[in-house]
Structure 1
Amino acid sequence: MRRPLLVTQFLERARRNYGDQEAVVATTGERFTYNELADRADRVSKALQERGIEKGDAVAVLDPNTHYHLEAAYGSMQLGAIHAPLNYRLLPDDLEYILNDCDAKAVIADYELAEKIEAVRDDIPTDIFITNDATETDGEWEDFDEVIDGVGPDYDEPEMDEDDVITINYTSGTTGDPKGVMRTHRSETLHAYLTSIHQEISDDDVYLWTLPMFHVNGWGHIYSITGMGAKHVCTRGVDAETIFEAIQSEDVSYLCAAPTVLNMLLDYYDSHDVETTGDSDVRVATAGSAPPEATIRTVEDEFGWYLKHVYGATETGPLITTSDSRRFFDDDSEDRFAVKKTQGLGFLGTDVRVVDEDGNDVPRDGQTIGEIVVRGNQVMDRYLGKPEATEEAFNDRVEGYYHMGDLATVDENGMMRIQDRKKDIIISGGENISSIELEDTLFEHPEVSDVAVIPAPSDEWGETPKAFVVPESGDPDDPAVTEDELTAFTRENLASYKMVRRVEFVEELPTTATGKVQKYELREQEWEDEDAMVGQG
């Protein structure tokens, strides 16, 4: 029997089986059952429908991890409208590009973030503006609670197919403008199933929202936590004190934390007398750069948490591999660190390979480097309006596989370990940063003659942008500009997380015979004391 896979079925199951159970602990102090969460989502659907939103329309959500985000997401998707979560760290110009690219018909924004939309309001195709506190927002915005209080829960549900696009998640623009990753009901649903299995999600889990919901729909947890009938604990931001407090007060059992968040927790733990668990055992998922062994050791041996290292990309769901392979280590063995620092093995139903330039699998020797490619049901449908980029992404070395752009080795157990990057991407604190974008910005400074930006190792962020600058003066000892001035210049012209954090003035950059900058030499120089040229601390 074939039943279409629709993301709306996650909330339907929760309402049917866990209607009277607590679903959400809101940042406002309110608590909602699954019946109440579903009713509010239904009213969002009705309100949007009354305002003209139809199947296929994009509804953008600019919101931290609040209950409003969950309600807006399900309220949109129940209409067959496309949920388009926005990175709240972006600048107004970035948001303007995205909202025009996806032709957003509505924006639902947090009151603290609405000013970013207000700044470009006249330059986007949007007519519907809703915020969670209109009294705190400049401009003409409807109030979220007033909007849903003014309608009933009965909306007209359209016919939907599992191959319909239901979300657009934007990349970080590491190779030019951000690309809209188009994902279907089917790809979202199957990724959520896989996440539920590999992250061992159950109905008695209490999930703390430290991972931004805009990050590929919070790695699919808006679906998996909901569908399993577990509890969402929402947040307006992430800091160590509130994380430890929530773990205690709400008996949190599961959270996600980029290596930079883990470092933040470790620093707080070292200087404060805190309890690291409530009554439940805690497991934590980390992604992006592998945390250093010392971090894993403290998290597991001192915090008493169980760490899972996972890997993927916006285009792939994102999750495609896990290092949580317990047949290859004992929980109390030193061997576990070597395994948990790898990107690991492919998820169920996911064909992950490391191939050479001819598309052949590299040997399992832990030495030979190739590119990671993947095919699976969780991989994106296509890029919005970019057929050439889509074609290249799926057919560069191997036809029909998405090419990750990460270079890795494979050991005798089939576990992958990233060694370097095919593209000039910097992953700092879980955020992708384009070295090209940083270089272009620095080139605008009158005292910069030439520049190359690479990832440099960082204990705090895994890796951080470093610029090698040839000054206009030609003299690195007298560059006529300071490191702090160039850092401030990038901060003024880019989103804050993208700014360059280290600068080294040089007489010249290493180049090939044709004048192309050899960034590999700079990376080798920066990472010579590290295990690999990827942010592993």
Structure 2
Amino acid sequence: MHKPLLVTDFLDRAREYYGDEEAVVATTGERFTYEQLGERADRLSAALAERGVEKGDRVAVLDPNTHYHLESAYGIMQLGAVHTPLNYRLTADDFEYVLNDAGVDAVIADYEYAEKIEAIRDDAPTETFVTNDAGEVEGDWEDFEEVIRSADPDDYRRPEMDEDDVITINYTSGTTGDPKGVMRTHRTETLHAYLITVHQEIRDDDVYLWTLPMFHVNGWGHIYAVTGTGATHVCTRGVNAAEIFDVVVEEDVSYMCAAPTVLNRLIDYHEQHGVETAGENSVRIATAGSAPPEATIRTVEDEFGWYLKHVYGATETGPLVTTSDARRLLPEGEERFALKKRQGIPYLGTEVAVVDEDGDDVPRDDATLGEIVVRGNQVMEGYWEKPEATEEAFSRRREGWYHTGDLAVVDENGMVSIQDRKKDIIISGGENISSIELEDTLFDHEAVADVAVIPAPSDEWGETPKAFVVPASGDPDDPGVTGDELRAFAEDRLASYKAVRRVEFVETLPTTATGKVQKYELREREWDEEDRMVGEG
């Protein structure tokens, strides 16, 4: 038997079997059951249909982790429209690019971020603008509550949908040029949600705290998995250590996700205040991005009493494709922490290989470097309207496998450990930052003759952007500009998290015979005291 895999099935199941159970603890203080969540999504579907949104149209959501985002996602997808979540940390110019690239028909934006859309709305193809608090937003915006209040939930009809239809587009961080829209289908989203349900051990009695942004590959699929299992969503408007601990205790949170930088904030706060770390439920936490240091894992598990799962992936791969939570492969005692910080072994139904330049597997000697390539049902359909980039991503070393650009080694048990990155990506606090974008920005400053940006180790962020600048004056001791001025220059032109944090003036940059900057030499020097050249604190 073949039954189409549709993402709408997740909320449908929750409404049928958990309709009277608590679905969402909202940031507004409201609490919604699954039937109420479903009705609000139905009303939004009807309202969007009334405004001309049809199957295949793109609808963007710019929102922190509130109930509005959950309602919007399902309200959009029930129409067969394409949920296009936006990173709220981007600039207005970034949003202009994405809205035009995706041809977005409608935007649903949180009141704190709507002004960034308002600033570029005349340069976008978008016709419908909705916010969750129109009174706080300048310009002609419809109010979310009024929109759904005036809509009849029975007025929309679901179109016929196929599991291979694109249902969401997630934009990358633009690490190699402009951001690319990663197309994900009903099938890829559903199978990825099934996988995290298994590997993250999601159950109907879980209480999930939204510390992971919902815009990050649809919250790593938790908008589906937590909903489909009938568990409870606890929403947030940001990451604050004190509030996280308070909510964990008050709401009996059992599961959440956090980048290593968030783990560090929690550890610092706990050391200073000695707060309670759990309510009645035991807590497990997933982390991804830059690998957490052993000390972080040890503190989270031994002092907090939480169980940590280290996972790995990319926007293009679902994202999650590996886990270090391989308990039969982990030794007892302190030695387990060293293995837990590895990216680990593949998820069920997922093939992960580390290959050499010829596409052959590297030996499992924990020493030979190769590129991580992935094949699985959760891997993207391709890049939105970028067939050449799609072809390149699947064909460089091993045909038909997605090439991550991450360089790794493999141990005797097949556990992967990333050592370096082929691409010029800096992962700071869980966010991808393009060194190329930063270099291009700094080049625009009149005092900069040459520049190379690399990741530098950071206790707080895992890694942080550092610029090696050759000043136009030719004298690194008298560069004609300060590091603070260059940081401010970058912050004025980029999203705040992308701006360079450290600046070192140098006389020259190391180059090859053909003049190509050898960033590897700079990274080697910067990470000399670290175990590997990836942000681990």
In which range does the TM-score fall when normalised by the shorter chain? over 0.9
Aligned counterparts of 1:413 and 1:302: Cα–Cα separation in 2:
29
- CA deviations 1:239-295 (Å, max 9, x no partner) are 101100100110000010000000010111111130001110000000011111111
- Equivalent position of 2:170 in the other structure: 169
Give 1:442-457 correspondences, 5 Å limit. 442-457=442-457
Aligned counterparts of 1:138 and 1:490: Cα–Cα separation in 2:
27
Q: Matched residues, percent identical?
A: 77
- Equivalent position of 1:396 in the other structure: 396
The structural deviation recorded for 1:89 is 0.2
Give 1:173-252 correspondences, 5 Å limit. 173-252=174-253
- Equivalent position of 1:132 in the other structure: 132
**Aligned amino acid, residue 517 of structure 2:** V
- CA deviations 1:27-81 (Å, max 9, x no partner) are 0000000000000000000000011100000000000000000000000000000
Q: Secondary structure at the match of 1:395?
A: coil
- Equivalent position of 1:507 in the other structure: 507
The answer to whether residue 60 in structure 2 is matched with residue 64 in structure 1 is no
- Equivalent position of 2:88 in the other structure: 88
- Equivalent position of 1:311 in the other structure: 312
Aligned counterparts of 1:28 and 1:288: Cα–Cα separation in 2:
30
**Aligned amino acid, residue 145 of structure 2:** D
Q: Secondary structure at the match of 1:229?
A: coil
The structural deviation recorded for 1:152 is 1.3
Give 1:453-468 correspondences, 5 Å limit. 453-468=453-468
- CA deviations 1:137-185 (Å, max 9, x no partner) are 1101111011101011111110000000000000000000000000000
The structural deviation recorded for 1:328 is 1.5
**Aligned amino acid, residue 59 of structure 1:** V
Aligned counterparts of 1:437 and 1:112: Cα–Cα separation in 2:
26
**Aligned amino acid, residue 261 of structure 1:** V
- CA deviations 1:309-328 (Å, max 9, x no partner) are 00000000000000000002
- Equivalent position of 2:115 in the other structure: 115
Q: CA RMSD for the aligned pairs?
A: 0.6
Q: Secondary structure at the match of 1:500?
A: coil
Aligned counterparts of 1:34 and 1:339: Cα–Cα separation in 2:
39
The answer to whether residue 162 in structure 2 is matched with residue 148 in structure 1 is no
The structural deviation recorded for 1:336 is 1.1
- Equivalent position of 1:329 in the other structure: 330
- Equivalent position of 1:157 in the other structure: 158
- Equivalent position of 1:374 in the other structure: 374
**Aligned amino acid, residue 16 of structure 1:** E
Aligned counterparts of 2:501 and 2:136: Cα–Cα separation in 1:
34
The structural deviation recorded for 1:334 is 1.1
The structural deviation recorded for 1:382 is 0.7
- Equivalent position of 2:386 in the other structure: 386
- Equivalent position of 1:434 in the other structure: 434
Q: Secondary structure at the match of 1:106?
A: strand
**Aligned amino acid, residue 213 of structure 2:** P
Q: Secondary structure at the match of 1:270?
A: helix
The answer to whether residue 490 in structure 2 is matched with residue 490 in structure 1 is yes
- CA deviations 1:487-516 (Å, max 9, x no partner) are 111111100000000001100000000100
**Aligned amino acid, residue 430 of structure 1:** G
The answer to whether residue 339 in structure 2 is matched with residue 346 in structure 1 is no
Aligned counterparts of 2:274 and 2:409: Cα–Cα separation in 1:
41
**Aligned amino acid, residue 56 of structure 1:** G
The structural deviation recorded for 1:229 is 0.3
**Aligned pairs, how many?**
536
**Aligned amino acid, residue 507 of structure 2:** E
Aligned counterparts of 2:136 and 2:509: Cα–Cα separation in 1:
50
Aligned counterparts of 1:13 and 1:5: Cα–Cα separation in 2:
13
**Aligned amino acid, residue 43 of structure 1:** R
**Aligned amino acid, residue 182 of structure 1:** M
Aligned counterparts of 1:401 and 1:132: Cα–Cα separation in 2:
41
The structural deviation recorded for 1:354 is 0.3
**Aligned amino acid, residue 203 of structure 1:** D
The structural deviation recorded for 1:536 is 1.2
Give 1:463-474 correspondences, 5 Å limit. 463-474=463-474
- Equivalent position of 2:102 in the other structure: 102
Normalising by the residue count of structure 1, what TM-score does the alignment of the two structures yield?
0.99
- Equivalent position of 2:321 in the other structure: 320
Q: Secondary structure at the match of 2:509?
A: coil
Q: Secondary structure at the match of 1:351?
A: strand
Aligned counterparts of 1:170 and 1:262: Cα–Cα separation in 2:
25
The structural deviation recorded for 1:329 is 2.1
**Aligned amino acid, residue 400 of structure 2:** G
- CA deviations 1:187-236 (Å, max 9, x no partner) are 00000000000000000000000000000000000000000000000001
Q: Secondary structure at the match of 1:469?
A: strand
- Equivalent position of 1:14 in the other structure: 14
Aligned counterparts of 2:315 and 2:128: Cα–Cα separation in 1:
27
Flag structure 1 segments of 5+ consecutive residues without an equivalent: none
**Aligned amino acid, residue 193 of structure 1:** Y
Q: Which moved more, 1:196-205 or 1:333-342?
A: 333-342
- Equivalent position of 2:256 in the other structure: 255
Aligned counterparts of 1:339 and 1:227: Cα–Cα separation in 2:
32
**Aligned amino acid, residue 317 of structure 1:** G
- CA deviations 1:391-415 (Å, max 9, x no partner) are 0000100000000000000000000
Normalising by the residue count of structure 2, what TM-score does the alignment of the two structures yield?
0.99
Aligned counterparts of 2:55 and 2:216: Cα–Cα separation in 1:
23
Runs of 4+ in 1 over 4 A off after TM superposition: none
Q: Secondary structure at the match of 1:44?
A: helix
Aligned counterparts of 2:188 and 2:208: Cα–Cα separation in 1:
23
Aligned counterparts of 1:51 and 1:485: Cα–Cα separation in 2:
47
Q: Secondary structure at the match of 2:394?
A: helix
Aligned counterparts of 2:113 and 2:536: Cα–Cα separation in 1:
33
- Equivalent position of 1:289 in the other structure: 290
Aligned counterparts of 2:296 and 2:381: Cα–Cα separation in 1:
36
